[in-house]
Structure 1
Amino acid sequence: MDNFRIESDSVGELKIPTKAYYGVQTLRAKNNFNITGRKMHKDLIISLAEIKKASAVSNIKTGQLDTAIGTAIIKACDEIINGKYHEEFIVDPIQGGAGTSANMNANEVIANIALEILGNNKGNYSLIHPNDHVNMSQSTNDVFPTAGKMTIIKLLKNLKKEINNLYKALIAKSEEFDDVIKMGRTQLEDAIPITLGQEFSAYSQAIKRDLKRTELAIEEMEYVNMGATAIGTGLNAKKDYIDNIVSELDEISNLNLKQAPNLIDGTQNLDCFTIVSGYLKALAVNLSKISNDLRLMNSGPRTGLAEITLPPKQNGSSIMPGKINPVIPEVVNQISFNVIGNDTTITMACEAGQLELNAFEPIIFYNLFESIETLTYGIKTFTDNAIKDLVANRENCKKHVSNSIGLITAVNPYIGYQKSATIAKEALKSGKTIRDLLTKEHIFSNNEIDNVLDPYKMIKPKN
């Protein structure tokens, strides 16, 4: 028994390891929710500690919390914010109970750290109690969603940096490839000429919109329901606490937090997470489309399009010597598929709430955190290992244009659609170029052919 202490809750008693800072409710949750084998996200742990610190400060100011106890709680929170005791947060991120287990894990760890700060043994809750003191003026139903939003903001800021880096890299490539003429394609068939720079400029604009949407996602998460307590009515919290808790939390976290204008709405409705997940899905779709294009343009090296060459990063086959695969775009595709799948889970979870509470925030946060982080890391490797060092195969691009039947589109305004279609069919059948057939038909002089078939005059409207 020297290695254990006995703690009890409304369900019964449990043996808690003497060294553990968590308590009975945390251990019960650990036993009940062995789901992913993972622990809570480190930024969620820090966000919970920031909330508990802000609440202790506010409760001291309102006179509800003894200053000595409150100060010990604040010091305990600072330890966690600074990275200590994270191993004591042992609850699985996917859990029943609308996040109560995560909240109680924080309450118990903070209470026991505070007890030791005051020279007492862990588990002596008669002096500092996880519920009565650490959770004072709070409920899981305002703490957990607020902690989730704070974590999402932190992760989105990292994502925003990587999106911006990708945008800059695409702009640089659009300028580098501004003079690289190539064949544009629609439905994978020859269309009309375009420059590789124009294609990369289009990619950059899509990513620029994703950058803006990420900023909007951050703004969406800045409204929190702290002060709502259980269902938004603020029961068991003083008015001064309710009025000031969010500003106190914002000062600690520096995340530009604002209190939800309607705390009942802010507690029961989770459409904000649906919106953020939708923005992430849009980003994933854009990234996957760009990756598809790069894989097509890189295809070959002898029997594909071979318009670009992606940086060779690793062997592509265990059996085919010398084969190099487009592994970076491939991993971005896979990340995108996962984000799109996560969006479905998040959408269903946001819809599934009833009346005054949605119990499914744990799965929402689990999937949102994963989507944001995998996109962040995926975009970084995409930028650094694919975009920055890819090269244009200029001569091959030019050859595709010269051999393309699509050039006949530029002739259409001069000789009409029907005659142009006849020449195109003949070119396809004979293997001759459009230039050869126009010369044979004596429709234009050589100078006129050079002018009409100049691909650089086809990439912008005529004056």
Structure 2
Amino acid sequence: MDSSTRSEHDLIGDREVPADVYWGVHTLRALENFPITGIPIEGSPYLVEALVGVKQAAATANHELGLLDDERFEAIRDACEQIRAGALHDQFIVDVIQGGAGTSTNMNANEVIANLALENLGHPKGDYTRLHPNEHVNLSQSTNDVYPTAIKIAIIMATKSLLEAMAVLEESFARKADEFHDVLKMGRTQLQDAVPMTLGQEFRTYSLMIGEDRARLGEAVMLLHEINLGATAIGTQLNAPAGYVQSACTHLAEITDLPLVPAVDLIEATQDCGAFVQLSGTLKRVAVKLSKICNDLRLLSSGPRAGLNEINLPAVQAGSSIMPGKVNPVIPEVVNQVAFQIIGHDVTVSMAAEAGQLQLNAFEPVICYSLSAGLSRLREAILVLASRCVDGITANRELLRSEVANSIGLVTALNPYIGYAAATEVAKEALATGRGVAELILERELLPAATLDEILRPESLANLAPRPEPPHVTDDISTV
């Protein structure tokens, strides 16, 4: 050994660890064993903060119950507070996907906290006789209650951040709905002309869809507030003192400012991943509906000459290296791709939850990664969609007005006044000749001009104002 390393020991044997790092031998072995994604857990700051918060709550409970002396408790607490404030996140280096049900992540946290605490006490890193990663930092704990609890807290925090972003997008669509409230256009079903509506109604729907999913996601995340901290290995609380479960949970709730509660049955809670499955399914729902909205935006803005060209998306970059002047709907496209990935992550979460055996699910690392990545990326995608796309959308008002005037779909609004058979004949002639529906109605003297004008007012067509009463239809069968 030289001054650039220190020697550490575990059940496999002795290893040299760089002298200046805060992690130790367990983290080193995990670094060697799991070169999987190249993404360390430091890339999930919510998870790092949650892990350290769990350790601080555990130390506080152990001190309160007389298991941890004042000096060690204060050193662990202070180290945890430093890390939660942003220190040493770069020392959390194990891969996000790992074998061992999260043991490597827990060991990484134990070692970093222990060595920072030792340094604060004036001792060298690795001097574990004075303060030990497992004996003291991990006291009354197991990976099997620390890791699931930390995952839940991290996902709660990430979900809160996503919910805030969804509120921004909801409001962005709502502002456009107000701006476009008087823009008449044709609605479509199965990509065919249907009946008139306003562009404001179309955009209001998008706002409501986002708002509805925001409510559902808020409901799903509440399930994660039940934690199994204190369950230790399988839920029987082995090696945790009496009173530890409630004490640790209470302190963790104070540290995180979350309404956390101990699980009713810790054995069940230690093996059950149902809350993750529920949240993942709801996140998939958000992704699916958001992707549908982005499909609509791309379709409505298609063209500009050979497509629908009803709206204009902001031009944010050149669209082609060969076609001058081409601009692509790149913001909706990137949101689509994030949505596709989240849908795939939901399959991963489902399979990982199903694959757990007996008293523990060993696949929570990939559940954590899938949910965390999905929540983070969707948040960023939503904020980009709001600021760089939706906020700058404009309407091609004249084109939309002319499309309504020339649409065969107008005859649907006239059914109650001229009857289905007559409306069908008008539609057929309009299609065959290219003439307007209103022109043919007047030519055939099916309605007075004043009545037709009233029926075809934009407010009437979009059902935003009362329409003229249709002719009375008798219920007397003898007159038929």
Q: What TM-score comes out, normalization by structure 1 length?
A: 0.97
Greater shift after overlay, 56-65 or 185-194? 56-65
Paired residue type of 1:37: G
Counterpart Cα distance in 1 of 2:20 and 2:458: 75
How big is the shift at 1:416? Answer: 2.6
Provide the secondary structure at the position in 1 that maps to 2:392.
Answer: coil
Task: Report 1:192-203 matches (<5 A).
Answer: 192-203=195-206
Counterpart Cα distance in 1 of 2:151 and 2:135: 23
Paired residue type of 1:20: V
Please state if 1:11 is matched with 2:12: yes
Partner residue of 2:191 out of 173, 184, 188: 188
How big is the shift at 1:80? Answer: 1.1
Counterpart Cα distance in 2 of 1:359 and 1:422: 68
Greater shift after overlay, 259-268 or 434-443? 434-443
Provide the secondary structure at the position in 1 that maps to 2:177.
Answer: helix
Paired residue type of 2:379: T
Task: Report 1:33-432 matches (<5 A).
Answer: 33-40=34-41, 41-432=44-435
Provide the secondary structure at the position in 2 that maps to 1:210.
Answer: helix
How big is the shift at 1:439? Answer: 2.5
Q: In structure 1, what is the equivalent of residue 32 of structure 2?
A: 31
Contact kept, 8 Å, 2:229 with 2:245, in 1: the verdict is yes
Contact kept, 8 Å, 2:245 with 2:262, in 1: the verdict is no
Counterpart Cα distance in 2 of 1:372 and 1:258: 23
Counterpart Cα distance in 1 of 2:238 and 2:188: 63
Contact kept, 8 Å, 2:229 with 2:249, in 1: the verdict is yes
How big is the shift at 1:66? Answer: 1.8
Deviation digits for residues 272-321 of structure 1 (CA, Å, limit 9, x no counterpart): 00111111111111211111111111111122111111111111111111
Counterpart Cα distance in 1 of 2:151 and 2:197: 45
Counterpart Cα distance in 1 of 2:343 and 2:432: 44
Counterpart Cα distance in 2 of 1:116 and 1:375: 39
Paired residue type of 1:18: A
Paired residue type of 1:233: T
Q: In structure 1, what is the equivalent of residue 474 of structure 2?
A: none
Counterpart Cα distance in 2 of 1:146 and 1:97: 16
* Alignment gaps of 5+ in structure 1: none
Counterpart Cα distance in 1 of 2:415 and 2:92: 70
How big is the shift at 1:271? Answer: 0.6
* Alignment length (residue pairs): 463
Q: In structure 2, what is the equivalent of residue 443 of structure 1?
A: 446
How big is the shift at 1:419? Answer: 2.7
Provide the secondary structure at the position in 2 that maps to 1:388.
Answer: helix
Deviation digits for residues 23-80 of structure 1 (CA, Å, limit 9, x no counterpart): 1111001100000111101221111111111111110111111221121111111121
Paired residue type of 1:307: E
Percent identity for Structure 1 against Structure 2: 50
Deviation digits for residues 158-214 of structure 1 (CA, Å, limit 9, x no counterpart): 111111111111111111111110000000000000001111111111111112123
How big is the shift at 1:18? Answer: 1.2
Counterpart Cα distance in 1 of 2:143 and 2:382: 34
How big is the shift at 1:330? Answer: 1.0
How big is the shift at 1:337? Answer: 0.8
Cα root mean square deviation, aligned? 1.3
How big is the shift at 1:343? Answer: 0.8
Counterpart Cα distance in 1 of 2:117 and 2:384: 42
How big is the shift at 1:11? Answer: 1.6
Provide the secondary structure at the position in 2 that maps to 1:444.
Answer: coil
Paired residue type of 2:15: L
Provide the secondary structure at the position in 1 that maps to 2:35.
Answer: coil
How big is the shift at 1:377? Answer: 0.5
Paired residue type of 1:187: Q
Deviation digits for residues 412-445 of structure 1 (CA, Å, limit 9, x no counterpart): 2233323322221221111111122222322223
Paired residue type of 1:183: M
Counterpart Cα distance in 2 of 1:132 and 1:254: 28
Q: What TM-score comes out, normalization by structure 2 length?
A: 0.94
Q: In structure 1, what is the equivalent of residue 22 of structure 2?
A: 21
